[in-house]
Chains A and B, each alone.
Chain A
Amino acid sequence: MIRLEPRRHHSQKMVYLSPLLAIVLTLISGAIIFAFMGKDPIEALYTFFIMPINNAYGIGELFVKGTPLVIIAIGLAMGFRANVWNIGAEGQLTMGAIFGGALALAFYDSTSVFLLPGMFVMAAIGGAFWGAIPAWLRTRFNANEILTSLMLTYVATLFLSYLVYGPWRNPEGFNFPESRAFPNAALLPIIYDGTRVHLGAVFALLIVAGGWVLLTKSVVGFQLRVVGQAPQAARHVGFRQKRMVWFTLLLSGGLSGLAGMFEVAGPIGQLQPSISPGYGFTAIIVAFLGRLHPIGILFAGLVISLTYLGGELAQISLGLPSAVTGLFQGILLFFLLGCDVLTKYRIRFGSASKSGEPA
């Protein structure tokens, strides 16, 4: 019989240990799943988690995939802290790419140094605009932002598809559903030769630092936390919930939009029907794995980025379906949520006291 016994204080140790425990449990489950699929578990785990990063290019890829995950997760974490559940980051990412890309395509023969900064602004506006819709619907009509932001993701994806199949299709592109390639002035510079690590990675670090100050040092961050943890107390001291809904959705929308633009102006270089392998959804896992804390998110982003790389490699060298990545991510989130109980409760075995309910 397993019982849960409340701790008097939250365990600080467990706050750090439980994500690690979740990762270990995920690796063990992974080994079992690989064995089940007829692969040597040790070799498979090696292929999945070590091989991708045993050279400079691989480590670079870790940052390439980590960049959008971290940027989006920082924004989402602010919302989750305030009990604002934006799960439409994928749509906001898409809108950011569309808005940023629009500028690049409008000036496709430009060499201006202002093109890229312009795209930054456009992308942030596009993402924030797509985040503003659920914010408005929630504050004005009480409509649940979980459902509205998710529905808008489908809309954004379809809209992108319409653009690249229709008006924005490359006139010289043999009818492939793609836009023109972005001009050089609209591409993010590579910051480390021999890899694909681009300027966006630097921005990701800046956003982590900014997020850390915002969340732990600022009055606004304090308000976010109070609104999320004790809405009645927030109301009592005049921290307005609606303002926090707006703030977090605009912020996470804007950051997601930026991440989307980084993808199309970075590794992809043009608009195409699919510009993200679900970064907007995976960032939810990153945010939780990082304990909704910017520093934690930085590390979590790299861990999750590794599952993408491992999945690709496992597909090539082991013949495993790429869906293994998603499976790992889901299992990791399960274990993480389960392990979280350890910060507030102690696990006791046996029934020391005859308590009313088995916990």
Chain B
Amino acid sequence: MTAMTGNTTGAIEQRTGSGPAQLEICGVTKAFPGCLANDNISFRIEPGEIHALLGENGAGKSTLVKMIYGVMQADSGDLLWEGNPVTIASPHDAREMGIGLVFQHFSLFETMTVLENIALAMNDVRDMAVLRQQVAEVEKTYGLPLDADRHVYTLSVGERQRIEIVRCLLQNPKLLILDEPTSVLTPQEVDKLFETLRRLANEGCAILYISHKLHEVKALCEHATVLRGGKVVATCDPRAETAKSMAEMMIGQKLVAPDRGVRPAPGDARLAVKNLSLVSDQQFGTDLKDISFSVRGGQILGVAGVAGNGQNELFQALAGETEIHGTPDCIILDKQPVADFGPRRRRRLGAAFVPEERNGHGAVPDMSLAENGFLTAFRRMALSARGLIREVPTRIFADSIIKTFDVRTTGNSAEAGSLSGGNLQKFIVGREIMQDPGVLVISQPTWGVDAGAASAIHQALLDLAAKGTAVLVISQDLDEIYAICDQVVVMAAGKMSAARNMADASIDEIGLLMGGLHDLGGETAPELNGGPK
């Protein structure tokens, strides 16, 4: 472990403060079969403090939060609430004490109204009319507008998060926990959220802020506790750190920026989408409206945007999961109109696709890696003959992915579901890259993936582009888009902005586009490496 700035491992920072901490965590340990999720974790949160909890995926943040919120119980260790040891047996108890939690994956019910959703998370609701009144008051006080009678499935992600926050505020929390709250927000919405949080902190509410977005932590938090592998590895004052130094505390090694390598001059457009409109076939989906863009060989185009603004529908349309009949030339793959083709014909033409969800979409969790390799590659890699599976080449293909992409596993007969998120993602990305695609469409390439795997995947995408492949990266992580893309387009409400070169695109501008201000996106797409705007 590399020693970083901050205090030594596990030490509890003694702070000046009158009276006991709002919450003090003392030596909390929680083990799961085969994994020590939390190992002797200790830190304290003062009233009115905004405290960051940092760590990579799998560092143990969620487990700790679940114990504080009473969803599960610690194996050993204590929680002190206002100085007194407490047992938090259930979320009901937690709410009773004054702990509120804004979930990362919202705990909402799609087919119910906002008011019903709020009522479900309140401990005792006697009268819906009174609750309605209270909701209206909180909305006004904190500037969080909500229509109590709308059904959740009609709301944007930002509005959904507002429900979660209002739910918490209604119970006058003394400790508010937010788990990755900004991953679904535009930069402008993030600013508004921070305003609300600062105001709450000023009123004396303690806030535990969980994130891996370090510039946000730096802007908001006064203290940070860093977890890695279930242990507290550092504590620090984010205001005195850089995002890079905190990232290195999280991953325990030096950050290496991806190597962009030498790119060939961009070639012809290999993937072109022209006036693509599509009515979503999903239950609560977003319709695509008149989308046009193109990706050239050797180029990486990023699609930014808040989740749920049509990215899934766009991916499905590109991958052929949704076929579009009648207008075959709204998607063109290497000069061939393909919009009415299914996935197999598009893959035969040299396209490859990596969906966002690994388990059950990109891979079949209960099948072996060999079978999962066969899944998308059996035609291009000639793994079948006369309708039968060719066992040996299938295993060899899986082995070569495992070797080339350093997938940590017990072998090609391991079930895909037994791999960690990062390793499975490396296998899936590897499976597509090994097929030497002319066009690669990849959605959220490093979502829920550890830093090591993430940088390996970024590097692999850059290398692929360097070989002349057109790469489309759909991502809600702006840092990722800035790290690897040449150009960026932004999706909002099923529409897409014009492309702009990464170098010219400011965060503020992209944030406004993500919020749906499309009149700013009216310019024509600049040429890659073209003149100044």
A and B directly contacting (CB within 8 A): yes
Q: Given A6-B33, A355-B72, A355-B73, A233–B418 Cβ distance below 8 Å? A: no
Nearest chain B residue, comparing its CB with the CB of A234: B364
Contacts of A213 in B (CB 8 A): 388
Chain A residues with CB under 8 Å of chain B are: 5-6, 8-10, 213, 217-220, 222, 225-226, 229-230, 232-233, 235-238, 240, 353-356
Is B389's CB under 8 angstroms from A218's CB?
yes
Is there an interface contact between A354 and B360, defined as CB atoms closer than 8 Å? Answer: no
5 CB-based A-B contacts, threshold 8 Å = A217-B388, A230-B365, A233-B375, A236-B376, A238-B345
Say yes or no: A220 contacts B387, CB within 8 Å. Answer: yes
The answer to whether A238 touches B342, judged by C-beta atoms less than 8 angstroms apart, is: yes
- The A-contacting residues of B in range 5-63, CB under 8 angstroms, are 30-34
| Inter-subunit contact B389/A222 (CB<8 Å) | yes
1/0 per residue, CB under 8 A from A, across B341-384: the answer is: 01111010000010101001111111100010011101000001
B97-145: which have CB < 8 Å to A? none
A236 to B319, CA, bound (A): 7
Chain A proximity mask over B58-75: 1 for CB below 8 Å, otherwise 0: 000000001000011111
Q: Does B93 contact A (CB under 8 A)?
A: no
For the complex, what is the distance from the CA of A107 to the CA of B389, rounded to whole Å?
A: 45
Q: Which residues of B contact A (CB under 8 A)?
A: 30-34, 66, 71-75, 319-321, 342-345, 347, 353, 355, 357, 360-367, 371, 374-376, 378, 384, 387-389, 414-415, 418
Q: Chain B contacts of A9 at CB under 8 A?
A: 414-415, 418
A14 CA to B355 CA in the complex, in Å? 33
Closest Cβ of chain A to B383, distance in Å, is 9
> Cβ of B384: which chain A residues have Cβ within 8 Å of it?
219
With A219-B388, A354-B75 in contact, do A229 and B344 touch (Cβ < 8 Å)? no
Complex contact B72–A232 (CB within 8 A)? no
Residues of A within 8 A of B361 (CB): 230, 232-233, 236
Instruction: Please provide the 7 A-B residue pairs with the shortest distance between their CB atoms, ordered closest to farther.
Output: A238-B343, A356-B72, A238-B344, A354-B73, A230-B364, A238-B342, A230-B360
Chain B residues near A6 (CB, 8 Å)?
33
How far is B371's CA from A16's CA once the two chains are assembled, in angstroms? Answer: 21
Contact partner of B360 (CB less than 8 A), chosen from A219, A233, A237, is A233
Of all chain A residues, which has the CB nearest B343?
A238
- CA–CA, A5 and B34, complex, Å: 11
CB distance from B44 to the nearest CB of A (A): 23
> What residue of chain A has the Cβ atom nearest to residue B344's Cβ?
A238
Q: How many A-B residue pairs have CB under 8 A?
A: 82
If A9-B415, A217-B389, A232-B360 are given as contacts, then 9 extra A-B residue pairs at C-beta distance below 8 Å, sorted by A number, are: A219-B387, A225-B364, A226-B364, A230-B364, A230-B365, A237-B343, A238-B345, A356-B66, A356-B72
Q: Determine the chain A residues whose CB is within 8 A of the CB of B345 once the complex forms.
A: 238
Chain A residue numbers with a CB within 8 Å of B319 are 236
Chain B residues contacting A229 (CB-CB under 8 Å) are 364-367
**Residues A233 and B363 in contact, CB atoms below 8 Å apart:** yes
Question: How many Å lie between the Cα of A220 and that of B355 in the bound state?
Answer: 23
* CB closest residue in chain A, given B361: A232
- CA A293 – CA B66 in complex, angstroms? 41
Of A10, A229, A236, A240, most buried by chain B (CB within 10 Å of CB) is A236
Q: Are B376 and A222 in contact (CB under 8 A)?
A: no
Does the CB pair A222–B72 fall under 8 Å? no
**Residues in chain A near residue B73, CB distance under 8 A:** 354-356
Question: Given A8-B418, A9-B418, A226-B375, do A235 and B364 touch, yes or no (CB 8 Å)?
Answer: no
Residues of A within 8 A of B320 (CB): 238
Known: A217-B388, A226-B375, A233-B375. A356 touches B71 (CB 8 A): yes
Counting chain B CB atoms within 10 Å of each CB, which of A9, A229, A237, A354 scores highest?
A: A237
Question: Considering the chains assembled together, what is the distance between the CA atoms of A353 and B66 in angstroms?
Answer: 15
B52 nearest CB across to chain A (Å) = 26
CB distance from B380 to the nearest CB of A (A): 12
State how many angstroms separate the Cβ of B418 from the closest Cβ of chain A.
5
Known: A219-B387, A230-B360. A10 touches B75 (CB 8 A): no
Q: Which residues of chain A come closer than 8 Å to B367, judged between CB atoms?
A: 225-226, 229
Question: Contacts of B366 on A, CB cut-off 8 Å?
Answer: 10, 229
Distance of A233 Cα from B319 Cα, bound (Å):
12
**Least Cβ–Cβ distance between B341 and chain A, in angstroms:** 9
Q: How far is the CA of A10 from the CA of B347 in the complex (A)?
A: 32
For residue A232, which residues in chain B have a CB less than 8 angstroms away from its CB?
357, 360-361
In the complex the two chains form, is A8's CB within 8 Å of B343's CB?
no
Closest to A356 in B: B72
The 8 Å CB contact of A237, one of B33, B344, B414, is B344
Tell me which residues across on chain B come within 8 A of A230, comparing CB atoms. 360-361, 363-365
> Measured between C-beta atoms, what is the minimum distance from A233 to chain B in Å?
5
Shortest Cβ distance from A346 into B: residue: B33
Complex: A157 Cα to B79 Cα, angstroms: 67
* B347 surroundings in chain A (CB, below 8 A): 237-238
A4 to B68, CA, bound (A): 24
- In whole Å, how far is B10's beta carbon from the nearest beta carbon of chain A? 22
Determine if A222 and B418 form an interchain contact, defined as CB atoms under 8 angstroms apart. no
Across the two chains, which residue of chain A brings its CB closest to B66?
A356
Q: Which of these, A5, A225, A236, A353, contacts B321 with CB under 8 Å?
A: A236
Return the chain B residue nearest A344 by Cβ: B366
Cα–Cα, bound, A356→B30 (Å): 12
Nearest Cβ in chain B — how far from A67, in angstroms? 28
**Docked-complex contact A236 and B355, CB < 8 angstroms:** yes
Given contacts A225-B367, A354-B75, whether A236 and B414 have CB atoms under 8 Å apart is no
A213 to B386 Cα, complex, angstroms? 13
The distance in angstroms between the C-alpha atoms of A219 and B378, with both chains bound, is 9
Q: A10-B415, A222-B389 are in contact. Are A236 and B378 (CB under 8 A)?
A: no
| Complex: A232 Cα to B365 Cα, angstroms | 12
- Cα–Cα distance between A288 and B378 once the two chains are bound (Å): 30
Known: A354-B74, A355-B73. A237 touches B357 (CB 8 A): no
Q: How far is the CA of A229 from the CA of B342 in the complex (A)?
A: 20
Verify A233–B364 contact, CB threshold 8 A. yes
CA A233 to CA B353, docked complex, whole Å = 12
A354 to B32 Cα, complex, angstroms: 10
Bound Cα distance A229, B371 (Å): 13
Residues of A within 8 A of B355 (CB): 236
- Tell me the bound Cα distance from A355 to B371 in angstroms: 35
B371 lies within 8 A of A222 (CB): yes
* Alpha-carbon separation in the docked complex, A233 to B320 (Å): 12
Residue of A nearest to B74 (CB): A354
Q: Are A233 and B389 in contact (CB under 8 A)?
A: no
CB distance from B11 to the nearest CB of A (A): 27
Residue pair B375, A237 in contact (C-beta under 8 Å): yes
Chain A residue contacts of B71, Cβ below 8 A: 356
**Residues in B neighbouring A220, C-beta threshold 8 A:** 387
Let me know if A353 and B75 touch, CB within 8 A. Answer: yes
B441 to chain A, nearest CB (A): 11
Q: Report the minimal beta-carbon distance from B274 to chain A, rounded to whole angstroms.
A: 23
Query: Please, which residue of chain A has its CB at the minimum distance from the CB of B322?
Result: A235
Query: Judging by beta carbons under 8 Å apart, are B376 and A237 in contact?
Result: yes
